Amino acid sequence: MTRSIAMAASLVLLMSAPLAHAAPPEVVVQSLATKALPDYAGKEVQMITVEYPPGGFDPVHRHDAHAFVYVLEGSIVMGVKGGKEVTLKAGETFYEGPDDLHTVGRNASKTKPAKFVVFLLKKQGAPIFTPVN
């Protein structure tokens, strides 16, 4: 009987090990629209949505763009180098400039998702996100 219990316990541990080391849910970015701006040579606007799962976050990065954020649902924490972190809830906005280093971007909640839309004014064809180590 003791041997059966030990085997069952080992099996439970083996089955739960992958769960314990599983990567956190990923941030989901969806492109909604991209539009060249003929009145501003070489510039375009790209609109995206970003969904942070509970506890989700972005690495330190830059956009090399004017980025206008509008929170659709949940609550997020945003910050750029040299600025104060701010916690935003649905209906609130955040701006980051083309020279800003985005040091904080995360879901304020460990239990609820958050979603926001971003309008990026950037060089035509430039990436929307550049990780910084």
What is the percent of the chain where pLDDT is above 90? Answer: 79
DSSP run (H or E) holding 86: strand 86-89
Name which of 131, 130, 133, 132 is nearest 65 in CA terms.
130
Q: What is the pTM of this model?
A: 0.80
> Domain spanning 24-131 has what CATH number?
2.60.120.10
d(C-alpha 111, C-alpha 21), whole Å: 19
Give the model confidence (pLDDT) of 60-98 as tens digits: 999 999 999 999 999 999 999 999 999 999 999 999 999
Structure tokens at 32: 């909604």
pLDDT value at residue 4: 46
